[in-house]
Amino acid sequence: MIVGYPFSAVVGHDDLKLALLLNAVSPAIGGVLVRGEKGTAKSTVVRSLAALLPEVAVVADCRFSCDPAAPDPSCPDGPHESGLSPQTRPARLVELPVGASEDRVAGSLDLERALTEGVKAFEPGLLAAAHRGVLYVDEVNLLHDHLVDLLLDAAAMGVAHVEREGVSVRHAARFLLVGTMNPEEGELRPQLLDRFGLAVEVRASRDPAERAEVVRRRLAFDADPAGYSGAYAASERDLAQRIAAARERLPAVTLPDDALRGITAVCAAFDVEGMRADLVMARTAVALAAWEGRDEVTPGDVRTAARLALPHRRRRDPFDDPGQGLDEERLEQALSEALSPDDDSGDDAPDDAPDDGPDDDGPGGGGASGGEPADAPPGEGGASAGGRRPESPGAPYRTRLLAPEAVGRGGPAGRRGRTTGESGRAVGARTPDGRLRRLDLPATLAAAAPHQRGRGRTGSGLVLRREDLREALREGRESNLVLFCVDASGSMAARTRMRAVKGAVLSLLLDAYQRRDKVGLVTFRGEEATVALPPTSSVELASGRLARLATGGRTPLAAGLRRAERVLAAERLRDPRRRPLLVVVTDGRHTSGPDPVVTARRLAGVASVVVDCEHGPVRLGLAGRLAAALGGTAIRLEELAADHLAAVVRDVRKVA
């Protein structure tokens, strides 16, 4: 038997433990998103929660964990008779792997048996297994968006739907949803962040004594898991009993009007979009009162609920930091105004209230003029090695679509390059190789129709055989690796020019974020090229590195291309299904190192775009020749904006 780490033995992480306990008391809160750096015991804390949850009574042999007291009338294993003897079992912790398919999550229908045997056979998925328990998604930010949407919809409605070629199955799916993620590996879209009830930022303690205690306890657990857990058995039982008592008290807790005004005032003061935040705060405050053994919500409950429910909903721009906490002064002011409705002196925010929105200079615009971060990669910080101080990027804008021209084969789901796979619009049909996944019913019927007389068909039913089955061939969009190779040399360093170049790259990063791409950043200046950012899904990191990028020195264009070649080769081994798109941002000049055309020819198999930054009355066309050597295309910097392309199309139509 595997012994888990005790919940009560976890050192620190008070907000995380409180958020999990409140969701255990009231799953209607909507789950917990845990953001934090690697190695901070996020998974350990989540897994230890399941042992505290009360046991559940289930209908015997029901694969969907129906409650004998109120069985689900639409249960695929039902209908269940009344008065059944219940069975009890511990609440489950179901883990969803990042590579899971939609069928594995929601369940699947055996279409072969349905068509050839007339049997409606449903295989439950992870949503059914997690019903009345905990569904844990590690690295939720790496999960495909459509699966995250599926999970959050089921968590919000408490019901899972499976639709396959006109056959529909519905079953209950109420669970405590917990997701953990490392922000360095990419963020969730703001729309998905908002769907998590609470969010907690987890960081390792900087107190040496506390860190020593963490290590001491972990070593003791590894040496004797059973003995160590036994030492905390009493405190674990107390927590479990407290959760059960809070669940019973929850329906009796009242939310006074002044507390409700405080909730809505705080949400309005922080300019939170929609009404989900208000509802989550109300449910969290009520659960907190029940957890503390009170029958009425207090202002302190509202304050704590705001701290857990609002920070991740304040994000307005993809490059904003969703882990930033709340402004305590602003929170207190909103609460005091709501609790003192007769006082009209505080209608407006104080003059010194911080501005949550990005400034006009883009991400890092103000910070770029400050000191260099201690962990900034070489070549990013202040003026060193002959480089000028970093310039702030220009304001981002909507760019034209840059994408590989060829059609891929089953790359990760996204919104850039075209690919064939299991999602997208149907473009044909094929005979399945292995298990049938996506039935193409018209093609199946067309394949079987010519053989009905030879198969002795006598009734109205269609005689189908395995060889008749066809699955849909679909064409959709995939996520790509967009590797930026940016010239940061002196020829690009004119103040207005580099600002425009950084604004262009920032705009392309914003486009990559919206299309769910992986991004990397290679820069070259002086005598060498540097990987400013290894390929990652975090465009926030890329934009920060771009804002700190210093310029100046000679132009080692060939070194930049060689470095890009090595990065792409390593990434091809790590993630062979993801196709690369190389975006070279340069004026085409080279003043250091070998001829870049020779290196460029070695990259000819990679989809490439050269953004030509050459300016002035005399143009040498060097970037165009570089694009020809790469086998890609060249576009002028000023042609990158989607508005420019639309204007060109309008002019052509006028001439026509």
Structure token pair of residue 220: 């003791």
Query: Cβ distance 486 to 505 under 8 Å?
Result: yes
Which of 273, 206, 282 has the alpha carbon at shortest distance from 28?
282
| Residue pointed to by tokens 């189908």 | 464
Which of 583, 590, 587 has the alpha carbon at shortest distance from 610?
583
Q: What ranges make up the beta strands (E) of 182-290?
A: 198-202
Report the alpha-carbon angle 341-344-350, nearest 5. 115
Determine the Cα–Cα distance for residues 385 and 186; give it in Å rounded to an integer: 32
Determine the Cα–Cα distance for residues 98 and 521; give it in Å rounded to an integer: 25
Radius of gyration of the chain (CA): 29
Instruction: Report the Cα 556 to chain-centroid distance in Å.
Output: 36
Which residues partner with 178 through β-bridges? 32, 136
Strand, coil or helix: what is 1? Answer: coil
Catalytic residue among 35, 276, 563, 589: 276
Q: Is the peptide bond before 79 cis (omega within 30 degrees of 0)?
A: yes
Determine the Cα–Cα distance for residues 12 and 302; give it in Å rounded to an integer: 22
- φ/ψ of 111, rounded to 5, equals -70, -30
| Residue pointed to by tokens 């899971």 | 100
User: Torsion angle of alpha carbons 351, 352, 356, 357, nearest 10°?
Assistant: 60
CA distances 151 to 170, 180, 303, Å, are 15, 14, 29
DSSP state of 405: S
- φ/ψ of 226, rounded to 5, equals -65, -45
Structure token pair of residue 407: 């059609």
Q: What ranges make up the beta strands (E) of 267-324?
A: none
Which residues partner with 471 through β-bridges? 430, 439
Report the alpha-carbon angle 635-641-646, nearest 5. 100
Quick one: three-class SS letters along 498-563? HHHHHHHHHHHHHHHHHCCCEEEEEEEECCEEEEEEEEECCHHHHHHHHHCCCECCCCCHHHHHHH
First-residue to last-residue Cα distance in the chain: 77
Query: Cβ distance 539 to 512 under 8 Å?
Result: yes
- φ/ψ of 416, rounded to 5, equals -115, -90
Annotated catalytic, 276? yes
Determine the Cα–Cα distance for residues 603 and 404; give it in Å rounded to an integer: 14
Determine the Cα–Cα distance for residues 104 and 143; give it in Å rounded to an integer: 13
CB atoms within 10 A of CB 607: 21
Structure token pair of residue 268: 């309005």
Which residues partner with 138 through β-bridges? 180
Determine the Cα–Cα distance for residues 94 and 175; give it in Å rounded to an integer: 10
CB burial class (10 A; 0-12, 13-18, 19+) of residue 104? middle
Active site residue ranges? 276
